[in-house]
Amino acid sequence: MVTPMHTRRSSVGVAVLSGHLYAVGGYDGITRSCLHTVEYYDPEENVWRRVEPMAQRRSGAAVAVVDDCLYAIGGHDGPDIRRSVERYDPQTKQWSRVPDMFSCRRNASAIVVHGLLYVIGGDDGLTNLSSIEVYDSFTNTWELSSGKLSIGRSYSGVVSTGDLPDAMTSSLVPESVSHEQQHLEVA
């Protein structure tokens, strides 16, 4: 049986980094507050360990791993929808700011393909979004993708087989990204 987390949370962002399952932010239904706390599960020892909290409270944040760092993307704290992004480096055990996205978004999907971080859909507090933003950790910049969802979506999931043909990703990759960058493989 898996040991319970230290903090009760729903609307939590999750990702796997270095064999550990990270639980990022979320909402505590008892205190009715959004969370900035983060913990990870160590399956070897069947224990949850706390890490440095984020600078901002985030419920409904998208979470992904790029270059062995954990990213907490968007989300909200009550009525405040975020466009900010924070990066956790497990080597330094510190969070740092990343440039903001173009749009405020919560409940978005995030995925890494060919070394680029895609943040897809979500909502801005008024409507579901169809836009896709792309983060390049090499240049530390965001771009809007020319590709969009056919309709706005929130609370959706996204998965990659790791084998996407160029034809599927070409409309999503910003023009400023070189052909070589598009084909970087993330281990």
pLDDT (mean) for 122-128 = 97
Specify whether the CB–CB gap between 122 and 107 falls below 8 A.
Answer: yes
DSSP 47: E
pLDDT-derived band at 179 (thresholds 50, 70, 90) equals very low
Q: Mind listing the pLDDT tens digit for each residue in 89-105?
A: 999 999 999 999 999 99
- CATH class name, domain 13-182: mainly beta
In tens, the pLDDT along 101-112 reads 999 999 999 999
CB-based burial of residue 40 (10 Å sphere; 0-12 exposed, 13-18 middle, 19+ buried)? buried
What residue ranges do the domains of the chain occupy? 13-182
Q: Which amino acid is at 45?
A: E
pLDDT in tens, 17-45: 999 999 999 999 888 899 999 999 999 99
How confident is residue 177, by pLDDT bands cut at 50, 70 and 90? very low
Return d(Cα 63, Cα 51) in angstroms, integer. Answer: 15
Cβ atoms < 10 Å from Cβ of 36:
20
More confident residue, 154 or 177: 154
Is the pLDDT assigned to residue 160 strictly greater than 90? no
Residue % of the chain over a pLDDT of 70: 86
In the predicted structure, residue 171 carries a pLDDT above the cut 80:
no
Q: What is the mean pLDDT of residues 115-128?
A: 96
Amino acid 26 reads G
Q: What is the mean pLDDT of the chain?
A: 89
Query: Lowest mean pLDDT: which of 9-23, 47-61, 149-163?
Result: 149-163
Structure tokens at 166: 């160029």
pTM for this prediction:
0.86
- Is 51 in contact with 72 (CB distance < 8 Å)? no
